[in-house]
Structure 1
């Protein structure tokens, strides 16, 4: 597998106000006060019972690449966003703090402390936008994908959403869907960058480019072999299946149907393929699939499900609504300065002060029974008896200490999802059973 890491700077993938806050904090000294920021969601999208954390690996890459180039600094000076002191600070910016987070692939619920950033106020505050942009987008795709995996009941799931979102968003979405259990993607950059299996054969344009359907199928079989998958619904699906078997013979790999009543079309196709001696040919369906359509196809003879629009766009993955909030800060510089909890009290947007850590309580059968979230300032003083610790060290002293492979991330997701009860996996609208109660959070000793 080829792996690739980006060296492109992520420093300007941020909002204007991050740098105006920095400018003022440098002037009044707050920039150098030790701080703790947390990422959490106050609620899940309406009707969702759980969410899936995705994008942590990309967050780490983004933090490592958060460097201001001379060109960046010149532009910031020219536009008046940065003064001399701010530009000088940004010129030498390197994140030297710590990050703790839920493992990628882990499940999260309202008020779960998904990610904690510790360092000086200056080095933490400028990371807000890039961290949230990654976690909100990737976790939204992974959460939608996980529901589709449940609906598919072991059938092959392909990400085919590249043409329905931005070009880089498509790569990130392919990775997030793979984390949540999708089997492959159509996106070659995702395959190259992350080692995700890729799939694809032909679109309707290939059939239309030939004199007739038989010529198109013959060309594809000669180039790709009889095991290829032929798209049979350009003109008439029944005739297309007959031509597909005629072109490839009984060893035809599969057919794809992209239109019509997919359940009825698949049943008719299975009967026709079997009658023509192509009993081993797989049936793939595509076309505006989501978890509900996939569920409706449960009894249809469908082997492969290709999902695009509703995997990668907002209609399929409503925003996670994760926020990045300051929860603790020192009143003077220095690593030994005492910390004090801080919290918003805004109506509907309140937060709980103090550093939080979380544990997944499990019952005697191994099912998740409670999301135990406690408040404390010491990151390395675990409480006993509260369950499986959910946060792990990711960055220490600016150095990455957490390096799971995508295979390990996928395995962790499967294990975490297996802790859910059938009620939690129900695709009907519901509420999260394991949501932490923010009003019940109380500080532990050691603050």
Structure 2
């Protein structure tokens, strides 16, 4: 069973109320005006990357597909809407039969994106597409922010292990989504069992300081843990004196001790001292795991330390300072009727300042230089140039209301590694900068 199957097996209740009220009132007004069925194209994109970020990471696509499939109005929801007088009777009748029947194209999960990238394109009637705005943005903005932070941390870790452990620092449902997005962005494991169950992400965890404090001595705690979990376990060694704890850990578990975890102090200094002590005690294969409010900068600062894995919580699940991607969902084209064959007319917001958008149904491709490295994100509304035909980024996700592109989560994770590797080397710099490649509109 792959991760996508596992996600469906858990079962997701209706997502229809994960929306803003004005989505429904727009449908009511459009139904009354006779414009609700007009063939329309919406696109999700961001006008800019979070300040200082050089690329974005598309995450949450699989969750969007689940949300679209489960977007329906059952009797309980319809009763709620009726009792609150949210919409009128004819609109309630229309909602009762709602199932998305249109098409969705988008960047595959794990791909990178830039300002103006049409990350998701939703096409169908105005009414059926507009209803999906809030839930789509909720998922993409959150998951892509977490995946981008995870990707930066993965770069900083340079191949060392990464453990997602932020469940206690965010909402319980956000914790599951965060673990999934972190896995796409390059993390290896999670401490959150719900994420492991739903998405088949490897889970890890042994003990906290409370377990040591429960016992009369630190040695007693170590012995109890080793007796229960085996010598390959990870012992937490910074409850009292680290040097004494390391000595006791090796005496209890032997030189085959799996790992020790350090959760406080000057991690660079302590890690070096612990590595030296472990080696002197003969535990040369015992690994060192560090935790304690890490972010990508702290991880990078530990590059010279003898650390084997990093556990990251708060900074990861809050996007390391950027908890959203500022994606928007805009109507970019529409016809004068419900006929999909009728020509579309580009439409766009022309606000003052930075909130204007570009009309027209768009394609996107990534142009490469002579070395096969990305040099521009090219976005257009007309014919795709011949030299970019095989570099197009959008893939079909939903056809006629049916999901056609589910995939295991590992596929998205592997795609991100490949996409990031195809960017200029400066993409992996942690210093603040502009997007690593420009977006060209043609």
Please report the TM-score for the alignment, with normalisation by the length of structure 1.
Answer: 0.95
Q: How does 1:339-418 map to 2 (within 5 A)?
A: 339-347=344-352, 348-376=354-382, 382-386=384-388, 388-418=391-421
- 1:307 matched to 2:307? The reply is no
The answer for the alignment partner of 2:283 in structure 1 is 278
Equivalent pair of 1:186/1:198 in contact (CA under 8 Å): yes
Q: Once the 2 structures are TM-superposed, how far is the Cα of residue 433 of structure 1 from its aligned partner?
A: 2.8
Report the Cα distance in structure 1 between the residues aligned to 2:203 and 2:123, rounded to whole angstroms: 38
Structure 1 position 96 matched with structure 2 position 98: no
Determine the C-alpha separation between the residues in 2 that align with 1:383 and 1:15: 39
Aligned counterpart, 1:202: 207
Alignment of 1:27-176 (within 5 A): 27-176=32-181
CA distance in 1, matches of 2:322, 2:284: 36
The 3 A distance-change label for structure 1 pair 402 and 383 is farther
Give the root-mean-square deviation of aligned CA atoms: 1.2
> What is the CA–CA distance in structure 2 between the aligned matches of 1:382 and 1:399, rounded to whole Å?
26
Deviation of 1:58 after TM superposition, in Å, equals 0.2
Query: Is 1:216 aligned to 2:221, yes or no?
Result: yes
Shift of 1:314: 4.8
Query: Cα deviations across residues 410-435 of structure 1 (Å, max 9, x unaligned)?
Result: 11111111101111211100000323
Distance 2:320 2:415 in 1: 27
Residue 315 of structure 1: CA displacement?
Answer: 4.4
Contact 2:148 2:319 in 1 (8 A): no
Q: For this pair of structures, how many residues does the alignment match?
A: 435
Could you tell me whether the CA contact under 8 Å between 1:251 and 1:278 is conserved in 2? Answer: yes
Secondary structure of the 1:331 match is coil
The CA deviation string for residues 110-167 of structure 1, in whole angstroms up to 9 with x for no partner, is 0000000000000000000000000000000000000000000000000001111111
Quote the Cα distance in structure 2 between the aligned partners of 1:215 and 1:235.
Answer: 14
Q: Which residue of 2 aligns with 1:435?
A: 438
What stretches of structure 1 of length at least 5 have no aligned partner? 443-447
| CA distance in structure 2 between the partners assigned to 1:36 and 1:239 by the alignment | 65
| 1:148–1:294 Cα contact (<8 Å) kept | yes
Q: Is the Cα–Cα contact under 8 Å of residues 230 and 244 in structure 1 kept in the other structure?
A: yes
Q: C-alpha offsets along residues 85-115 of structure 1, whole Å, 9 cap, x if unaligned? A: 1100100000000000001000000000000
- Partner residue, 1:445: none
Q: Is the 8 A contact 2:176 2:195 kept in 1?
A: yes
**Does the CA contact (< 8 Å) of 1:143 and 1:317 recur in 2?**
no
Q: What per-residue deviation string (whole Å, max 9, x for no partner) do you get for residues 248-269 of structure 1? A: 0111111000000111110000
Are the equivalent residues in 1 in contact too, given 2:423–2:436 (CA < 8 A)?
no
In 1: Cα distance, 2:151 partner to 2:340 partner: 41
Partner secondary structure for residue 331 of structure 2: strand
TM-score, structure 2 length as denominator?
Answer: 0.96
Q: Say whether the 8 Å CA contact 2:52–2:431 is kept in structure 1.
A: yes
Task: Give the Cα separation in 1 of the matches to 2:322 and 2:47.
Answer: 17
Structure 1 residue 70: deviation in Å?
0.4
Q: Is the 8 A contact 1:310 1:317 kept in 2?
A: no
What is the distance in 2 between the residues matched to 1:435 and 1:111? 10
Deviating runs (4+, > 6 A) in structure 1? none
Could you say what secondary structure the match of 2:7 adopts? coil
Post-superposition shift, 1:332? 2.4
The gaps in structure 2 that reach 5 residues or longer are none
Between 1:18-27 and 1:327-336, the stretch displaced more is 327-336
Q: 1:236 aligns to what?
A: 241
Instruction: Give 1:382 shift.
Output: 4.6
Q: Secondary structure at the match of 1:63?
A: helix
